[in-house]
Amino acid sequence: MPLRARVSALVMITVGLAITITSIVSYIIVRNEIVSRFDDDLFQRAVFVAHSELADPTVLPNSSEAAVLLNSLGLEETIVTAAGVKIEPATVAVPLGNGQTVSVHPAAPVGPQEYAVAAGQLSRCTRTVQESTGTYRVMSVQINANEGIALVLAAPFGPTEATLHTLGLVSLLVGLAGVAVAGTAGFLLGRAALRPVQRLTLATEYIAKTGDLRRIEVTGDDELARLTTSFNTMLTALARSQEYQRRLVADAGHELRTPLTSMRTNLDLLAQAMAEPDNPRLSAQDRIDLMNDARAQMEELSLLISDLVELSRDEHPARTLEHVDFADVVERAVERVHRRAPSLTYDVQLDQWYLEGDPAALERAVTNLLDNAAKWSPSAGTVTVRLHQGALQVSDQGPGIAPEDLAHIFERFYRSPEARTMPGSGLGLAIVRQVVENHGGRVAAARAPGGGALLGVWLPGQASDPASHSPASAALSAPGAQTRSGGEPGASPEGL
């Protein structure tokens, strides 16, 4: 069953039950009130009759005037005794308006309840009796406790009962009309309430068919508006993901084109040289240079593809987090870069810092930071590494970063004009930012006080660890070794 039909049915059933219960309760209350008023009136008449000659057992059966009076009052009367004696009024002829007469015997119906009242077993009894002449409301009251005499009065209850039947029928019709109105209202309410859901459904189907991630207009501030807002947020994230994929493919194609073109040119020249061994235009040294150049281009392609795979894998990582000693991660990265660039000096000062994360990804990010510093440092230069309160700062003694490049240094494939002459893919620092942001941290870049670049990252964590035994410390000396120099760098990246 569609949701709209279920909402309509729910509203109709709920309102219908409410109307039905209200109608039944109202009918019962009104009926009881009408019957109560009828009984009160009948009791007042019984009090009147009890204080008149009509209650005299010697007068009632012998007085035609008593029978006529009872008939005019619309009452029937019988006197009963505890001994089982029943005294009824006389039968009289009552004239009609057309000159005819009708025989009237206004005797009230009597049953065991009335004799119980006469015997004092009941103080009063009121009940409805169905006779051949109609329905009556019968009331019996004791008028002489010593002799055990009770007065029984009966009044026609048919008109009142017809009124109650009419009231019940009207209540039923009103209830049915209310259910019909509730069904219509439920249908309209369901359609109005579920219109945003229908819009979301149509939008989802439209997106599935066309791929157009157009946002939906949000109206109101209820739960459906929040659902629409969440849906728009999802569309924004999906559009961002598509844009990321598009840019990644476009940038990768652009970056791959240059080394592939150069490699194809070199291979074409080598193919020509091999086809013409005696061609003097390419010497043996030229051929060796072409082969070395092609090998370098292959290594550059391999590095670029490796970085692309890393970025693609880490965009939405599903990692198993571990308890990481970040200072130990930095030390391992320093040792790795030191082996690749042994001519540099590494000035390292690390404070303890622990976090939940992926140690392999963190080591890759720190290694990329150090590789960048080593690449730009002059021969026999110093790379300064500081870790304090979760902020890792790496500075070099290179030419530094131009102010206009600071905001873009961590973007994918971004390379400043100076960097285009250096080896690299332009993805190393982008991987740093991605890994750090995946761990809830942030990155920043600045110019070092004495020149060079100062790159930093901050990762959330804590300085103490119950499982730790001693502060991270290491010192490698000699050219290209780590040294412990107290103090922080003279400048820090903005925001760290």
Which residue stretches of 194-222 are H helix?
A: 195-210
pLDDT per residue as tens digits for the range 352-369: 999 999 888 898 899 989
DSSP-based three-state secondary structure for 473? coil
Cα-trace Rg, the chain = 52
> In whole angstroms, what is the distance from residue 71 CA to residue 236 CA?
90
List Cα–Cα distances, 349 to 85, 327, 356, 385, 387, in angstroms: 123, 9, 22, 6, 6
According to DSSP, residue 82 is labeled T
**Given this model, what pLDDT does residue 36 score?**
93
Indicate the fold that domain 223-312 takes in CATH: Helix Hairpins (1.10.287)
**Given this model, what pLDDT does residue 421 score?**
56
**Given this model, what pLDDT does residue 405 score?**
83
Instruction: Give the rounded distance of the alpha carbon of 268 from its chain centre.
Output: 63
**Given this model, what pLDDT does residue 327 score?**
94
Q: Which residues of the chain have pLDDT under 70?
A: 1, 94, 96-99, 101, 251-252, 254-255, 258, 277-282, 300, 303-304, 307, 310-320, 413, 415-426, 466-496
**Given this model, what pLDDT does residue 384 score?**
94
Q: Which of 452, 453, 481 is nearest to 343 (CA)?
A: 481
The beta strand positions in 61-160, using DSSP E, are 76-81, 86-87, 92-95, 101-104, 124-131, 134-144, 149-156
Buried b (16+ CB within 10 A) or exposed e, 356-379: ebbbebbbbbbbbbbbbbbebbee
DSSP-based three-state secondary structure for 342? coil
**Given this model, what pLDDT does residue 104 score?**
74
**Given this model, what pLDDT does residue 318 score?**
55
Buried b (16+ CB within 10 A) or exposed e, 278-290: eeeebeeeeeeeb
Q: Are 107 and 97 within 8 A, CB to CB?
A: no
pLDDT per residue as tens digits for the range 276-290: 766 666 677 777 877
> In whole angstroms, what is the distance from residue 178 CA to residue 11 CA?
12
Q: Which of 121, 148, 150, 120 is nearest to 138 (CA)?
A: 150
Q: Are 399 and 452 within 8 A, CB to CB?
A: yes
Q: Are 61 and 87 within 8 A, CB to CB?
A: yes
Strand pairing partners for 103?
Answer: 93
Which residue stretches of 51-82 are H helix?
A: 64-73
CATH for 3-164?
3.30.450
- Looking at the domain covering 319-483, what would its CATH class be? alpha beta
Q: Around 151, how many Cα atoms within 13 Å sit in the side-chain half-sphere?
A: 24
> In whole angstroms, what is the distance from residue 140 CA to residue 127 CA?
9
Domain boundaries, the chain: 3-164, 223-312, 319-483
